[in-house]
Structure 1
């Protein structure tokens, strides 16, 4: 996948591998708003979470716990949002599966607002 920024990490200048295991990596880049956030990405190109192998699921689970411990120590967040966007309608902009790991803090303006908060608004009701 020559043009995939999650396969070709050099395509995104400030992107860094923070920690990895045999099947997944945790990437971060400098953030002004979502401090400490990053992506857990399978090393092999998989389009969505639905394409992961059982071994990649296990590796993602393992890395997620390692990443949480690291973020807890570095940032002491008050909570987390963790989630996958799948396909363009679901908000996926890079067609390589990636799990968002977003530390959350009590002093944020949107503290207490989870992933579903924006989707369940009346304005999002289908016609």
Structure 2
């Protein structure tokens, strides 16, 4: 059980941009300018725990926020993503989808999420030095 209260469960503690049904959009207050997150109002640890309605409203809020941030900040591109679990980069165990505007004059403009993960210094110890073949998926029940 967490020792500190979840920072996303109390909407009075965050900089709220918009609300729609079971979800809200909040500013990250981190660069690049216009970065935000869409979160479920109910505490859900990961994206996999969202209800069908929360998934649908998240999509709608992301679209609306993209439109609004697009008008106000005029970015040249976007990244959208979920960090899931500690190894996946999730620092707050309350599901949150990042909407990150990208700008042509950024140092890493044109480099997407996959580029970061594919850097040689990011290879796992198991995979360093050799490509690891994909593991077969179990059959669908």
- Relative to the length of structure 2, the TM-score reads 0.82
Output one character per residue of 1:6-60: Cα deviation in whole Å (capped at 9) or x when no partner: 002445xxx31011101110001533x3100011000110000000111100000
- SS of residue paired to 1:102: strand
In structure 1, what is the equivalent of residue 61 of structure 2?
63
In structure 2, what is the equivalent of residue 103 of structure 1?
101
Please say if residues 28 and 37 of structure 2, whose CA atoms lie closer than 8 Å, have aligned partners that are also in contact: no
- Relative to the length of structure 1, the TM-score reads 0.90
In structure 2, what is the equivalent of residue 5 of structure 1?
7
Alpha-carbon distance in 1 for matches of 2:118, 2:47: 23
In structure 1, what is the equivalent of residue 133 of structure 2?
none
Alpha-carbon distance in 2 for matches of 1:62, 1:35: 21
Output one character per residue of 1:68-126: Cα deviation in whole Å (capped at 9) or x when no partner: 11011101110001000000000001000000010001011110111111111112222
The reply on whether 1:38 has 2:36 as its aligned counterpart is: yes
RMSD over aligned Cα, in angstroms? 1.5
Gaps in structure 1 of 5+ consecutive residues:
none
Please say if residues 20 and 61 of structure 2, whose CA atoms lie closer than 8 Å, have aligned partners that are also in contact: yes
Alpha-carbon distance in 1 for matches of 2:116, 2:67: 28
Question: Quick check: which one's helix share is greater?
Answer: 1
In structure 1, what is the equivalent of residue 82 of structure 2?
84
Gaps in structure 2 of 5+ consecutive residues:
126-141
In structure 1, what is the equivalent of residue 19 of structure 2?
20
The ranges of structure 1 where at least 4 consecutive aligned residues each deviate by more than 4 angstroms after the TM superposition are: none
In structure 2, what is the equivalent of residue 51 of structure 1?
49
User: What number of residue pairs does the alignment pair up?
Assistant: 123
- Of the two, which has the highest radius of gyration? 2
